[in-house]
Amino acid sequence: MVGMVQTAGDWWLDHAGEVPREDVVDGLADLILGGLPAAAPPDRVLELFRE
């Protein structure tokens, strides 16, 4: 995830006029928050959403 965020940030710095920063942040947040529960063991998924 850290590498994905860093790469997205580097790309955005080179293309800042093409995509608003908020869109990049929202897209990364959706990917991370959507991917974390999928990668967790089934019994841990409910705990992730309670925290």
Amino acid at 11: W
* pLDDT score for 7: 92
**Residue keyed to tokens 């991917």:** 35
Of residues 2 and 44, more confidence is placed in 2
Q: Which domain holds residue 28?
A: 2-50
Please count the structural domains in the chain. Answer: 1
* pLDDT score for 13: 92
Q: Tens digits of per-residue pLDDT, 14-40?
A: 987 898 989 989 988 888 877 766 666
In terms of Cα–Cα distance, which of 26, 45, 30, 32 is closest to 4? 32
